[in-house]
């Protein structure tokens, strides 16, 4: 059997969400599909610092930050945006010409698709018609009305139907149905494949936590995770303020996990405040986040998909404080999860240190944890099985049925 070549494109405006998910999927594939080579195309500046599995390497694109539909230069190149986009497009097309992937997996919100990637997809469709193109999306990509307008409006996402062989949804249809919620036509709906959430694999993909418990006693541990750190400072500030205002020992310990996009000034301010408190630790996001979730009695987070999967996998109590965004995907996720009874949600605009503290203490004292029996968390296993079947049958133009 010849080696299966897989190219993954991950684009992150802020933080590491898509790139982290791409690496997790690539790790699963690499471990259980032995005859494969995986190349990651990413614009995350710190990609070289992340641990990659065997048979995975990366090509780094020049960084370009974006706000909504407008592009602004990243921190590394002092040239025109159009020239940065041209460099990125040339690198992407050159990668295709040389690597010649059998499968191209894209992890990117459709509304945030970089301009040069749209042109690259048209190039791939024309020059590499036998390359299977798969778009990977989390369980929800935003508010129903907003996405409907974008998907079905002028210049919408109709090209997904033309270019993609499949659209993988890393969620469960009975929890959130893309076709119903977003009013998708048959051409796109027929391409949807629900993998389930990307929780711990039945094949022990992620293994057991790689460090010991944070503490040997049974003082409850609260993990506060603020996503990429670019917009999550308010949640952390409320949590720290509650602890500061108690004036006595708080009956729980805290790990505050910040993302790579938090500014140095905000981080330094937090470090000074936390240095005055007992039983509070500050950590940057790392591969150990599964360990932190495993050790926690309660996770307070802003609604990111990757952390949700870890919460589901370890069956932890959770409190969701969604942060706003262009498509309100975190708010949509909060409403969805609260509706099915998985966790409680609070609005960030209504949050105060006192309200947050009261809810944290109340949830910690609840004896019953979240119900996860109805959740499909075997997404990594289903992806592995699908890749294996595709590897055996990649002489066919269509991906195999799942």
Tens of pLDDT, residue by residue over 238-266, are 999 999 998 778 999 999 988 776 778 88
Q: Which domain holds residue 254?
A: 221-365
Q: What is the CATH number of the domain that holds 355?
A: 3.40.50.2000
Claim to verify: residue 360 and residue 386 sit in the same structural domain? no
Evaluate whether residue 208 is within a structural domain: no
Claim to verify: residue 21 and residue 144 sit in the same structural domain? yes
Asked whether the predicted pLDDT for residue 7 surpasses 90, the reply is yes
Claim to verify: residue 82 and residue 129 sit in the same structural domain? yes
pLDDT at 216: 44
pLDDT at 136: 95
pLDDT at 319: 96
Claim to verify: residue 23 and residue 160 sit in the same structural domain? yes
Evaluate whether residue 329 is within a structural domain: yes
d(CA 191, CA 168): 8
Claim to verify: residue 128 and residue 230 sit in the same structural domain? no
Give tens-digit pLDDT for 257-313: 887 767 788 888 889 999 989 899 998 876 677 889 999 999 999 999 999 999 998
Claim to verify: residue 187 and residue 237 sit in the same structural domain? no
Evaluate whether residue 216 is within a structural domain: no
d(CA 386, CA 402): 7
Q: Is residue 103 within 8 Å of residue 17, measured between CB atoms?
A: no
Give tens-digit pLDDT for 119-161: 788 888 889 999 999 999 999 999 999 888 887 765 667 777 7
Claim to verify: residue 135 and residue 178 sit in the same structural domain? yes
Claim to verify: residue 382 and residue 343 sit in the same structural domain? no
Order across the sheet with 280-284: list the strands.
280-284, 253-258, 221-225, 298-301, 317-320, 344-345
Give residue 373's pLDDT band: very low, low, confident or very high (50, 70, 90).
low
Asked whether the predicted pLDDT for residue 165 surpasses 60, the reply is yes
| Longest Cα separation, the chain | 68
Q: Is residue 124 within 8 Å of residue 96, measured between CB atoms?
A: yes
Give me the numbers of helices (H) and strands (E) for the chain, helices first please.
14, 15
Give tens-digit pLDDT for 341-353: 899 999 988 899 9
Decide: helix, strand or coil at residue 151: helix
* Gap between the terminal Cα atoms of the chain: 22
Give residue 71's pLDDT band: very low, low, confident or very high (50, 70, 90).
very low
Evaluate whether residue 100 is within a structural domain: yes
DSSP 193-241: EE---B---TT-SS-S-SS--S-SS---EEEEE-TTSSS-HHHHHHHHH
Claim to verify: residue 187 and residue 314 sit in the same structural domain? no
Claim to verify: residue 150 and residue 264 sit in the same structural domain? no
Task: Summarize the confidence of residues 357-386 as an average pLDDT.
Answer: 87
Evaluate whether residue 344 is within a structural domain: yes
Question: How many structural domains compose the chain?
Answer: 2
Evaluate whether residue 210 is within a structural domain: no
Q: How far is CA 119 from CA 81, 115, 124, 125, in A?
A: 16, 7, 9, 10
Nearest in space to 329 (alpha carbons), one of 141, 108, 139:
141
Claim to verify: residue 245 and residue 174 sit in the same structural domain? no
Give residue 204's pLDDT band: very low, low, confident or very high (50, 70, 90).
very low
**Partners of 4 in beta bridges:** 36
pLDDT at 298: 96
Asked whether the predicted pLDDT for residue 29 surpasses 60, the reply is yes
**Partners of 137 in beta bridges:** 169
Evaluate whether residue 236 is within a structural domain: yes
Claim to verify: residue 359 and residue 383 sit in the same structural domain? no
Q: Is residue 110 within 8 Å of residue 157, measured between CB atoms?
A: yes
Asked whether the predicted pLDDT for residue 402 surpasses 60, the reply is no
Asked whether the predicted pLDDT for residue 207 surpasses 80, the reply is no
pLDDT at 361: 96
In percent, the amount of the chain with pLDDT more than 90 equals 46
Evaluate whether residue 175 is within a structural domain: yes
pLDDT at 210: 40
């Amino acid at each position: 059997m010849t080696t299966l070549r897989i190219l993954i494109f991950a684009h992150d405006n802020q933080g590491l969400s898509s790139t982290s998910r791409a690496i997790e999927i690539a790790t699963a594939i690499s471990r259980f599909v032995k005859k494969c080579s995986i190349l990651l195309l990413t614009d995350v500046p710190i990609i070289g610092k992340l641990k990659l599995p065997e048979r995975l390497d990366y090509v780094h694109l020049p960084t370009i930050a974006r706000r909504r539909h407008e592009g602004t230069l990243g921190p590394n190149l002092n040239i025109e945006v159009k020239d940065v986009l041209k460099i990125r497009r040339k690198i992407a097309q050159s990668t295709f010409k040389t690597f010649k992937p059998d499968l191209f997996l894209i992890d990117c919100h459709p509304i945030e698709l970089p301009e040069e990637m749209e042109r690259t997809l048209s190039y791939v469709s024309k020059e590499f018609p036998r390359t299977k193109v798969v778009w990977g999306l989390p369980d929800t990509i935003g508010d129903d009305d907003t996405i409907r307008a974008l998907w079905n409006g002028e210049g919408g996402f109709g090209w997904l139907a033309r270019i993609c062989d499949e659209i993988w949804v890393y969620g469960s249809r009975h929890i959130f149905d893309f076709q119903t919620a977003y009013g998708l036509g048959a051409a796109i709906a027929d391409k949807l494949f629900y993998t389930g959430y990307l929780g711990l694999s039945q094949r022990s993909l992620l293994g057991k936590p790689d460090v010991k418990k944070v503490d040997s006693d049974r003082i409850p541990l609260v993990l506060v995770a603020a996503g990429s750190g670019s917009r999550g400072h308010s949640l952390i500030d409320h949590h720290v303020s509650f602890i500061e205002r108690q004036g006595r020992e708080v009956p729980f310990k805290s790990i505050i996990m910040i993302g790579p996009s938090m500014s140095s000034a905000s981080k330094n301010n937090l470090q000074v405040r936390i240095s005055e408190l007992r039983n509070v630790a500050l950590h940057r996001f790392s591969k150990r986040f599964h360990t932190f979730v495993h050790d926690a009695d309660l996770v307070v987070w802003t609604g990111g998909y990757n952390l949700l999967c870890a919460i589901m996998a370890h069956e932890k109590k959770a409190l969701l404080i969604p942060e706003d965004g262009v498509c309100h995907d975190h708010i949509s996720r909060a409403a969805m999860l609260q509706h099915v009874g998985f966790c409680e949600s609070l609005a960030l605009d209504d949050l105060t240190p006192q309200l947050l503290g009261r809810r944290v203490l109340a949830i910690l004292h609840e004896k019953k944890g979240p119900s996860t029996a109805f959740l499909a968390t075997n997404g990594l296993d289903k992806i592995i099985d699908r890749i294996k079947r595709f590897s055996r049958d990649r002489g066919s133009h269509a991906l195999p049925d799942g």
